[in-house]
Amino acid sequence: MEKLNIKKERRRKYYLEHKQIALLQSYEWRKKNPERYKAINKKSRLNNIEKRKKYEKLRYWANPEKYRKKTRLWRINNSEKAKEYHKNYFPKWKSENMEQIRQLTKNRKARLKGAVGEVTLLEWKWLKEKYFNLCLACFKRGSEIKLTQDHIVPISKGGKNIIGNIQPLCKPCNSTKSTKITDYRQI
């Protein structure tokens, strides 16, 4: 084991010192040993399955519209497989992505009301953190109350559904504000 670590460490050092050469050598080795490379690649893919899943999730939610279009097409061309998938995997996927789905629903509702724009879950999380998870009107904590996305300029008055027009308010404060234009970020 010890010996192996020394070997590994030596290899790492060599790699850092000779990065360009190493890259080229590894490229040439891959070209000469395609089968072995495939096998190694497969092994590492299996080992990193969790990492990959996380990465794919991030990539998906960064641009859900793009991937949903792709999925729609795939579903049309693979209707049997799609049915199977929906039955076996969709419920799990749904429960794992509830927060994201809720955000998409919010965006859809805003769009139906005629608002332009879109708020991502990441932006909303960032905004809450920026204001220390407080309701900007009553300063109650997000852990005691549920923070909601208030449109500063209400959609009914032409407000956009973008993060710049959103402030975190608790439900009661959001209802009190109703369709008034009150920017608590400035107060």
Site residues (CB under 5 A) for Zn ion?
Answer: 135, 137-138, 170, 173
Nearer to Zn ion, 104 or 170 (CB): 170
Between 110 and 135, name the residue whose CB sits nearer to Zn ion.
Answer: 135
Torsion of CA 80, 85, 91, 93, to 10 degrees: -140
Is the CB of 116 or the CB of 138 nearer to Zn ion? Answer: 138
Element (H, E) at 71: helix 64-77
Least Å from the CB of residue 152 to Zn ion: 15
Distance separating alpha carbons of residues 182 and 167, to the nearest angstrom: 10
d(CA 130, CA 167): 11
Is 22:15 a contact under the CB 8 Å cutoff? yes
Q: Answer for the pair 151, 112: CB distance below 8 angstroms, yes or no.
A: no
Cα separation of 66 and 25, whole Å? Answer: 37
Q: State in angstroms the smallest separation of the CB of 148 from Zn ion.
A: 9
Q: Smallest gap, in angstroms, from Cβ of residue 174 to Zn ion?
A: 8
61 or 131: CB nearest Zn ion: 131
Cβ of residue 1: shortest distance to Zn ion, in angstroms? 58
Q: 110 or 169: whose CB is closer to Zn ion?
A: 169
What is the smallest separation between the CB atom of 173 and Zn ion, expressed in angstroms? 3
**Distance separating alpha carbons of residues 117 and 158, to the nearest angstrom:** 12
